[in-house]
Structure 1
Amino acid sequence: MIEQFPGDCEFVIALGHKGNLVREYLELAHPDRQFIFQHVVPFEGKGSGLGLSLLFCEKYLQQPFIFLSCDTLVKEQIIVPDHNWMGYSQIENVSDYRTLELESDYVNQICEKGINNDNQRPYIGLSGIHDYQLFWKAMHSGKATAIRQGEVYGLRKILSKTKVSAYRYTWFDTGNPKALAITREAYRQVDEPNILEKENESIWFVRDKVIKFSDNKKFIANRIARAKELLGFIPNIQESRENMYGYQRVEGKVLSEAITVSLFDKLLSQCSIFWKLRPLNGNEELAFKNLCMDFYKDKTYKRIDLFYKKFDKKDGTELINEEEMPLLSDVLKTIDWDWISNGLPGRFHGDFHFENIIWSKREDKFTFLDWRQDFGGDLKNGDIYYDFAKLLHGLIVSHELIARDKYTVTWDENKIALNLHRKQILIDCENIFNQWIKSNGYDLKKVRVLTALIYLNIAPLHHYPYSMFLYGFGKRMLVHELKYNF
């Protein structure tokens, strides 16, 4: 919405819940815009309300202004507030919204939720307030009612004194989950990346800028610190705040859209330079092995326990694709964790798969995105075997196909059924990668066991039902790779 206003507009932003994150985002995404931020106290609980948020902003709005709700998006140009007006839209069910009773092109009455007549249209939380002095006088005199009703209290007073125009907009609501899903589809770009949602992370694309967010400040700080280690292979971070950082959008295609056998060979050649081993002394080597033990063994048990708690599941012997399966806990006991934890210390990415790699044909260059913030707390060294496994996990389970729902999973009391679409080019790349690992003297079995563990580890971090798929797929692969006999 900000981009639909002229460049010289001032934006007065009322801040409440997670207000610091709103401010960080706006400053990173729109550094050329002028924002005035006003903290509202209280922003929730007794005495709070939309009207109070408005009154906190009053001193900055002593001129005609536009009111825009934070959950409203429209496609059309915003009308200048050189007269009083209110925005409406055309939808089938208006019972969840305040409505405008219209007469010709004017507002006749502002109605509360639940009133649904033929000549009423939903009010979309967008208004031009020209008679601002009358508006503020009404908001003050309305006291608790004005605080509860918000801007419509002042607009009703304006409506009692003068005409208020009504303008129809193509409206997209983001105020509830169902409406938000519809809005996301409407604004989806044809070439936008396939990003699997996580509860505590987001990534936004604003013109030629990319903004990465996490609710974990240490996560962001470590990401920024690690950028120095990966210089030349990742984008340069331009700006940062406590919970997010921004960088110039990289031109090119995500590798999943450009991949060929020859390009994969080229990637592996580049990776041979990127995966730089670092020699460790005796004490450092022991510390790194202990780090790997915690990262692989301890974290795996914690993540599996989290999965059971989050999705109300328990360790069982359900058939997976009609194959008999043991308890996962029994399978984990057979793993030689010393063997798994004997890693390769060096420069690593940490989330190395095709959706995090950009290929620029024009520059003949790969750029790696969304690198891991640390490896068990270590910002410099990680286990290169982990990168091998992350790459393999993406070749087997394509993020692109998951984003397009090209998988199925059912979990009944006694069996789990999985189905996964795969691209032939990714199968070819998997075969090439398996051979590359062996020909370079690495342990293919370790890579494949780690890959199975990755699926189990990320299962509780993703949405349902993909989480169910990851657990079942990871367990089945682990049984196969360990050749578990029961």
Structure 2
Amino acid sequence: MNNPRTVCILTAGIGSRMGESLANSFNKAILPINDQAIISQIIANFPADSHFVIATGYLAEQVRDFLTIAHPDLHFSFVDVPEYTGKHTGPGLSLSYCRELLQTPFYFVSCDTLWQADPALLAQEENWVGVAALPAEQQESYCNFSLLEGNVKAIYDKVAYRGQEPVKSFTGLMYIRDYQSFWHNFQPHRLIKEEVQVSNGLSGMLSAGLKIKALDIRWTDVGTLSRYKEQVLKYSNYDFSKTDESLYIQNGLVTKYFVDEAITANRVAKARLKPDIFPEITEQKGGFYSYRYLAGDTFYNRGSLNSFGKLLEWLEQQVWPTTADNRNIKALCKKFYYDKTMQRLEMFFKKHGESYRNEAFCVNGRPLNPIREILARLNWDELIDGEAAFIHGDLQFDNIIIKDDGRFCLLDWRQDFAGEIKVGDLYYDFAKLYGGIILNYSYIKKNLLSYQEQDNNIEFNFAQDYLSSSYIRTLEAFIESKGYSVSKVKQLVALVFLNMAPLHHYPFDKALFFLGLSRLTATLD
């Protein structure tokens, strides 16, 4: 096959099997696995000169924005599918909307189908469907084929097969050479389980006497939340994914996405205020922004005591200076420290129950008062008396890159401080830097965390870098030498952990809560 291939990928469905929280925020096709979107992994299995026909419906703009920003050199045609949810819709209907662009031999791929790339598969020039053997109890959820000498004999779509001969299930991947017969026999009003299925055209091809080969492929279905999470955990020992943002690294680009497009806009605006400390933004589209992948490594992996001293000097000279008006810093700090902390704690109590608000706990052998009593001891007037600075806002070692040329660059900066882009509280950067030394997030990603809870007795532990104590001593000496309060930084570190807790999955969320609680108690005592 010498002509560019035509590949149709369906992304129109709402992805209800992914669970409400994910489905509300993401089109299934752009969910990341190992920092690559599902649809990007599908695209990578075809030649770069292919013509990709993308059926869009649910969160269509999200899919279009992602593909154009993450794959700027590929040829896409987007087809709007106005009917993508409810009765009488389905993958067959979405495919039929692409009919005009599929008047040529074409590949069809469901957006939740992943398979191991195989050049021999693309070399096949006959009609074929990708198949796999599934347990009988799962077959009713799929389109199934009975086979004769390696060809499809009969189709049993979304029904329990009662015959004697073995069947294999459709993987969501096929090649249609005889496209004219496929479309001639396609019945867009024929329903199976109240949906229009892709098998409509295949059944007609069989009735017309055409052969359809069945090719076994190594296939992964990521169309449900459990199967998707299973794949995510193959590449990471801990699931750090969030329901309102995602990260992609592919084609030499880093692409970041936020459901709230205002966050993206503010991040881009902030990066352009000090372009020498952040990566250069190459493009922004909707909730996405991208920049070139940096040659270097995180401070967690490449840092040393010597480079830490240089980092503090660089932060003081290049990052923190600001000419912004600081008259409102107290109001900003109150909103950011007090108001946000109370909101985040309510999220945690809603997630895990009122007992965490009202009861006393014993944490790693130390009795602690209820959190409401501990928070009442805080001197909020002192905490909100901030020091105006231009801040990063999430200054932990995973977000600090030491480039191959030895220079520093900051990633994943916070978009604002209580709504302000140009100014924040210097103490917050101190606290995030301090907290990231205590709690090594690169180790958490490797699941080097233990957590046990029995009644109100909590035991948790986590791995720390051998240089952690030295980093802490160096940072505390730096803070004191500049006339700032180490005690105040320590209190804010505890609040940082408490604020992070509701945003993460179990057991990291509870470990963060009790780490914050125990450190706040120790600091106040």
Normalised TM-score (structure 1): 0.92
* 1:5 Cα deviation from its structure 2 partner: 1.5
* 1:375 Cα deviation from its structure 2 partner: 0.6
**Matches of 1:194 and 1:363, distance apart in 2:** 32
In the TM superposition, what whole-angstrom CA distance separates every residue of 1:376-408 from its partner, at most 9, and x where no partner exists? 111100111101111111111111111111112
Tell me which amino acid in the other structure corresponds to 2:301.
Answer: E
Q: Which residue of 2 aligns with 1:355?
A: 398
**Matches of 2:49 and 2:108, distance apart in 1:** 17
What secondary structure, in the 3-state scheme, does the structure 2 residue paired with 1:232 have?
A: coil
Q: Cα distance 1:147–1:133, how it changes in 2: closer, same or farther (>3 A)?
A: farther
**Matches of 1:25 and 1:79, distance apart in 2:** 26
What secondary structure, in the 3-state scheme, does the structure 2 residue paired with 1:35 have?
A: strand
**Matches of 1:325 and 1:338, distance apart in 2:** 24
Tell me which amino acid in the other structure corresponds to 1:268.
Answer: L
Identical aligned residues as a percent: 32
Divergent runs of 4+, >6 A: 192-195
In the TM superposition, what whole-angstrom CA distance separates every residue of 1:341-362 from its partner, at most 9, and x where no partner exists? 11111111011111111112x3
Q: Is the 8 A contact 2:129 2:212 kept in 1?
A: yes
Q: Which residue of 1 aligns with 2:127?
A: 84
* 1:167 Cα deviation from its structure 2 partner: 1.7
Q: Which residue of 1 aligns with 2:309?
A: 265
In the TM superposition, what whole-angstrom CA distance separates every residue of 1:407-438 from its partner, at most 9, and x where no partner exists? 12233332222222212122321222122222
* 1:207 Cα deviation from its structure 2 partner: 2.1
**Matches of 1:143 and 1:97, distance apart in 2:** 17
Q: Which residue of 2 aligns with 1:103?
A: 148
What secondary structure, in the 3-state scheme, does the structure 2 residue paired with 1:228 have?
A: helix
Q: Which residue of 1 aligns with 2:244?
A: 200
**Matches of 1:385 and 1:112, distance apart in 2:** 61
- Structure 2 counterpart of 1:294, from 319, 324, 335: 335
What secondary structure, in the 3-state scheme, does the structure 2 residue paired with 1:424 have?
A: coil
What secondary structure, in the 3-state scheme, does the structure 2 residue paired with 1:159 have?
A: helix
What secondary structure, in the 3-state scheme, does the structure 2 residue paired with 1:4 have?
A: coil
Q: Which residue of 2 aligns with 1:181?
A: 229
1:367-386 equivalence runs, <5 A: 367-386=409-428
Q: Is the 8 A contact 1:139 1:146 kept in 2?
A: no
Q: Which residue of 1 aligns with 2:177?
A: 130
Q: Which residue of 2 aligns with 1:170?
A: 218
In the TM superposition, what whole-angstrom CA distance separates every residue of 1:53-83 from its partner, at most 9, and x where no partner exists? 1111111111111110000111223525732
In the TM superposition, what whole-angstrom CA distance separates every residue of 1:128-184 from its partner, at most 9, and x where no partner exists? 011212222322365334972421221122123211112222212211123223433
Q: Which residue of 2 aligns with 1:344?
A: 387
**Matches of 1:446 and 1:301, distance apart in 2:** 19
Q: Which residue of 2 aligns with 1:473?
A: 515
Deviating more after overlay: 150-159 vs 442-451: 150-159
Work out whether 1:25 is the aligned partner of 2:66. Answer: yes
**Matches of 2:348 and 2:441, distance apart in 1:** 20
Q: Is the 8 A contact 1:458 1:470 kept in 2?
A: yes
Tell me which amino acid in the other structure corresponds to 1:358.
Answer: I
1:190-229 equivalence runs, <5 A: 196-229=240-273
* 1:108 Cα deviation from its structure 2 partner: 2.4
Q: Is the 8 A contact 1:73 1:173 kept in 2?
A: yes
Tell me which amino acid in the other structure corresponds to 2:231.
Answer: T
Work out whether 1:16 is the aligned partner of 2:49. Answer: no
* 1:235 Cα deviation from its structure 2 partner: 0.6
Q: Is the 8 A contact 2:132 2:216 kept in 1?
A: yes
Deviating more after overlay: 111-120 vs 75-84: 111-120
Q: Is the 8 A contact 2:133 2:167 kept in 1?
A: no
Alignment gaps of 5+ in structure 2: 1-41
**Matches of 2:331 and 2:479, distance apart in 1:** 24
Q: Is the 8 A contact 1:81 1:129 kept in 2?
A: no
Q: Is the 8 A contact 2:232 2:239 kept in 1?
A: no
Deviating more after overlay: 465-474 vs 285-294: 285-294
Tell me which amino acid in the other structure corresponds to 2:220.
Answer: F
**May I ask how many residue pairs the two structures share in their alignment?**
475
Deviating more after overlay: 144-153 vs 419-428: 144-153
**Matches of 2:286 and 2:270, distance apart in 1:** 15
Work out whether 1:253 is the aligned partner of 2:297. Answer: yes
**Matches of 1:326 and 1:118, distance apart in 2:** 67
**Matches of 1:259 and 1:110, distance apart in 2:** 60
* 1:199 Cα deviation from its structure 2 partner: 1.7
Alignment gaps of 5+ in structure 1: none
Q: Cα distance 1:259–1:313, how it changes in 2: closer, same or farther (>3 A)?
A: farther
* 1:334 Cα deviation from its structure 2 partner: 1.6
Tell me which amino acid in the other structure corresponds to 1:287.
Answer: N
Work out whether 1:428 is the aligned partner of 2:470. Answer: yes
Q: Is the 8 A contact 2:145 2:152 kept in 1?
A: yes
Q: Which residue of 2 aligns with 1:232?
A: 276
In the TM superposition, what whole-angstrom CA distance separates every residue of 1:429-457 from its partner, at most 9, and x where no partner exists? 12221222222222111111000000001
Q: Which residue of 1 aligns with 2:38?
A: none
Q: Cα distance 1:102–1:255, how it changes in 2: closer, same or farther (>3 A)?
A: farther
* 1:217 Cα deviation from its structure 2 partner: 0.9
**Matches of 1:140 and 1:32, distance apart in 2:** 36
- Structure 2 counterpart of 1:437, from 479, 496, 504: 479
Q: Cα distance 1:89–1:425, how it changes in 2: closer, same or farther (>3 A)?
A: farther
Q: Which residue of 2 aligns with 1:60?
A: 101
What is the Cα-based RMSD across aligned positions, in Å?
2.2
* 1:49 Cα deviation from its structure 2 partner: 1.3
Deviating more after overlay: 95-104 vs 331-340: 95-104
* 1:246 Cα deviation from its structure 2 partner: 0.7
**Matches of 1:258 and 1:349, distance apart in 2:** 20
Q: Is the 8 A contact 1:66 1:127 kept in 2?
A: yes
* 1:92 Cα deviation from its structure 2 partner: 5.6
Deviating more after overlay: 169-178 vs 242-251: 169-178
Q: Is the 8 A contact 1:233 1:366 kept in 2?
A: yes
* 1:90 Cα deviation from its structure 2 partner: 4.8
Normalised TM-score (structure 2): 0.85
What secondary structure, in the 3-state scheme, does the structure 2 residue paired with 1:324 have?
A: strand
- Structure 2 counterpart of 1:446, from 488, 492, 508: 488
Tell me which amino acid in the other structure corresponds to 2:379.
Answer: D
